[in-house]
Amino acid sequence: MNRLGSGEGLMFFAFIFIMGILGAGIVWGVSSFFGSGYDGRNVEASTLLDSLKVCFQEHDFFSPGFDVSKECGLNANVIDDGKHFIFVNGSKSFIYGVSDYINQCNFEGAKLNSGYPVCVNGTFVKDGARFDVVVGSNQRGRRVNYG
């Protein structure tokens, strides 16, 4: 009784392993050559900062119940999607969105890691008082399947 077989099946997992290594190498090589997507988070944060700059001059951010999305013409669903952050700091402070972004944006090495949000800094002056502003964004293009 020959129950050992011809041994063809023994190489099955080795075959898959080699294919995996080959595939990973090709994917890595192609990705390195063509680059990794388009990152417009910095631009989005800058645009939001510009919008807020105008709004800040016209409204009192520090009044109780101030609704930044309503008063500044921003879509509440987008600004509240957990990927945006607004922080105004001076004699008073105003914070909106994901408050932890203030930490994440200032971590050493965060700029080298695309998983962290991108923040831009600015300065507002109103009634002679200076306010530092940080606006952050971590929104990326989302893949949508139609198949």
CA angle 106, 112, 114 (to 5 degrees): 95
Nearest residue (CB) to other proteins, 9 versus 109: 9
Q: Is 32 in the site for other proteins (CB under 8 A)?
A: no
- Considering all CA atoms of the chain, what is the largest pairwise distance in Å, rounded to the nearest integer? 97
Nearest residue (CB) to other proteins, 36 versus 91: 36
Nearest residue (CB) to other proteins, 55 versus 90: 55
* Amino acid at the residue 89: N
**Location of structure tokens 């509240």:** 80
Q: Give the interface size with other proteins as a residue count (CB under 8 A).
A: 47
Residue 75: count of CB within 10 angstroms of its CB: 9
Q: Footprint of other proteins on residues 39-58 (CB under 8 A)?
A: 40, 43-44, 47-48, 50-51
Query: Residues, the chain, total?
Result: 147
Site string for other proteins, 8-27 (x = CB under 8 A): xx--x--xx--x---x--xx
CB 102 within 8 A of CB 85: yes
CB of 30 to other proteins, least distance (A): 6
- Residues forming beta bridges with residue 95, ordered by sequence position: 87
CB 135 within 8 A of CB 119: yes
- The residues binding other proteins (CB under 8 A) are 1-9, 12, 15-16, 19, 23, 26-27, 30-31, 34-35, 37-38, 40, 43-44, 47-48, 50-51, 69, 73-75, 77-79, 81, 84, 139-147
